[in-house]
Homo-oligomer: A and B are copies of this chain.
Amino acid sequence: MEQRKILLREDEIPRQWYNILADIAMNPPLGPDGNPITPDQLAPVFPMNLIEQEVSQERWIDIPDGVLDVLKIWRPAPLVRARGLEKALDTPARIYFKNESLSPPGSHKPNTAVAQAYYNKEFGIKKITTETGAGQWGSALSFACAHFGLECKIYMVRISFDQKPYRKSMMAAWGGNCVASPSPNTKAGQTALERDPNTPGSLGIAISEAIEEAVSDESGQTRYSLGSVLNHVLLHQTIIGLEAKKQMEKINEYPDIIIGCAGGGSNFAGLALPFVHDKINGKQIEIYPVEPAACPTLTKAPFVYDHGDTARYTPLLAMHSLGHAFVPPPIHSGGLRYHGMAPIVSQLVDEGILEPKSVKQNQVFEAGVLTARSEGIIPAPETNHALATVVDEARKAKEEGKEKVILFNWSGHGLLDLTAYDNYFAGNIKDIDLSNEEITNAEKVFADFPKPAHVKHE
């Protein structure tokens, strides 16, 4: 009988993360004075052990036993041959996915949440603050903090807080404390509410609030945690791609095309970076980050220096950005509503190593429902962005009569996003496309900032 899942044993889980900073050149983050930021300047925000990881140039970084032990609650994640979807599409392509939906919070996010909670605990921190979009990240960090006995405070983007009440319950089940953002508790929140009392909120605002709460704690025992974007977050996610490589080797496969949805960039990069390493070293692979047309950071926004948050608390990061004041339209994929993009992913797009794509909302849900019915798992709306491109590529392979090998990341399940599916079935999903005027307006906020260099790896 045909094999569906390629499994690893617990003792085959990778023992090191892959750090792409050893293989590419990057524009450094800049401080308020325009100079590269120093570790000391970040110390009020992150614990020093994570700051060191953020700037490390070591290619391989050991995964601590204390992290692996918690990852093993659900890892290794299966590599799945999507035979049902292949059949539904009648394609000669062989489609594989990493199933990251099997973690207790339901997404890839705990891969880094567990590591970050571990390092904070090691550094003597008692409380972690963070933001969350769709709620996946807040759930993941609550889950991780429960394991290490840390307090967890989550600022959840207002529109998702309202659309997904069960996410808050989930965080509470793990002991996390979740509030809607913008909130009246922080200066950043107050400012946002003054500007627009009915704002749906944004990741940018929520990040500002969480940072503000962390740095305001005079005991020095609170730090902030980010669920995507930063180098160390993408580092922790590379366990996805490293497992996938081992699994594909076991069946003598290698992908022609790699696909992942991209909001801040971490699930995409987690799968893709170990393969980017191969591409840099000469392998022929097409690698597609996929974003919503409603928030087209990689496909339409420039590569600039900009802040990661609305209140401009973060350093300037070299990234594709729609502008730190941009509030993305209220699509259901909260995890993809971010004005910026991970500097590593942005850099690789600027170098032409990655080829970003954007997709519209109805196409996204069409692919999601087709996959739910043929593969069995109901995907998160974010994952449906990857699926829309998988479906496109599988159909192209059929037209061209080519046996392409497609590998994508199933970033999460949609069991707490079922309202989005209800809206799709009711015909209430809009195909939002950002206009050039909106983009030009949004870009004004970084017009006076320094410009990153177009560096290339050697």
Contact = CB atoms under 8 A, between A and B. Distances in A.
Interface of A: 1-5, 7, 9-10, 65, 68-70, 72-74, 84, 102, 104, 106, 143, 146-147, 166, 169-170, 172-175, 369, 372-378, 413-416, 418-419, 421-422, 425
Nearest to A422: B169
Nearest to A8: B7
Contact of A65 (B1, B5, B102, B369): B1
Given A1-B69, A68-B1, A376-B104, A419 B169 contact: yes
Given A10-B5, A65-B1, A169 B418 contact: yes
B373 A174 contact: yes
Contacts of A2: 69
B170 A418 contact: yes
Given A175-B373, A415-B416, A170 B378 contact: yes
B376 A143 contact: yes
Nearest to A425: B172
Contact of A10 (B3, B69, B72, B106): B3
A377 B56 CA distance: 33
Contacts of A173: 369, 372-373, 378, 414, 418, 421
A134 to B, nearest CB: 14
Contact of A421 (B74, B102, B172): B172
The prevalent SS among residues of A at the interface is helix
Which interface residue of A1, A173, A375 has the most chain B CB atoms within 10 A? A173
Given A5-B10, A7-B10, A104-B378, 20 more contacts: A1-B65, A3-B10, A3-B72, A7-B9, A73-B376, A84-B147, A104-B376, A104-B377, A143-B376, A146-B372, A146-B374, A146-B376, A147-B376, A170-B415, A172-B422, A172-B425, A173-B372, A173-B421, A174-B372, A174-B378
A62 to B, nearest CB: 13
B169 A4 contact: no
Contact of A7 (B7, B147, B372): B7
A425 B168 CA distance: 12
Contacts of A102: 102
A227 to B, nearest CB: 18
Contacts of A421: 169, 172-173
Contacts of A172: 421-422, 425
The 6 nearest A-B residue pairs measured at CB: A169-B418, A4-B72, A166-B418, A146-B373, A104-B376, A104-B377
B106 A375 contact: no
Contacts of A70: 376
